[in-house]
Amino acid sequence: MDAVTVASGNAGIIANEASANTTQREAEFDELRLSGACDAAAETSAIIRDMLDRVADKWSLLIIGALSEGPRRFSALHKSVPGISQRMLTHTLRNLERDGLVSREVFAEVPPRVEYSVTELGETLIVPVSVLARWAVVNRDTILAHRDLYDARQDAGL
């Protein structure tokens, strides 16, 4: 871990060089990061938590992932994201649209057709999501093994 540790809390974790997601807004980012370590730690934690609550729910990232390959209509998306209910697909798409991460285009046809696609802002999420998804796939077996081991020890300890 070659991170530049700041003070305490969750400010340090975002200060390392992740070698990805380089945008034109990093100036603002650095400004925020340096605006006093103690305050920023709590504030940054809140920011991360807020954004995470919005984007790291059960379906948002998977929808972004499915949409990252190109525009999809509602029913196609329904199939591309296995296990999602109609209700949650609608709901999650609305939230993503509200946050400007996906755009919704309605075609005045019959039968009605609605296409969803990731916006430019949504595109910026794809790299972070990819990294996390990659981690999930690579480390799944290891985590499951640890979990089983832990549970076995618990049972033995009774």
- Compute the CA torsion angle 124, 129, 131, 133 (nearest 10 deg): -160
Residues that bind DNA (CB under 7 A): 57-59, 73-76, 78, 83-88, 90, 92-94, 104, 106, 111-114
Which one of its own copies, DNA, none is in contact with 102 (Cβ closer than 5 to 8 A by kind)?
none
Least distance CB 83 / DNA (angstroms): 6
In contact, 67 and 81? CB cutoff 8 Å: no
The residue among 21 and 90 lying less far from DNA, judged by its C-beta, is: 90
Least distance CB 85 / its own copies (angstroms): 13
Which amino acid makes up residue 81? V
Neighbours of 96 (CB within 10 A): 25
Q: Which stretch binds its own copies (CB under 8 A): 60-68, 85-93, 106-114?
A: 60-68
Residue 114 as a binder of its own copies (CB under 8 A): the answer is: no
Q: Which stretch binds its own copies (CB under 8 A): 85-93, 105-113, 146-154?
A: 146-154
Residues 84-113 that bind its own copies (CB under 8 A): 97-101
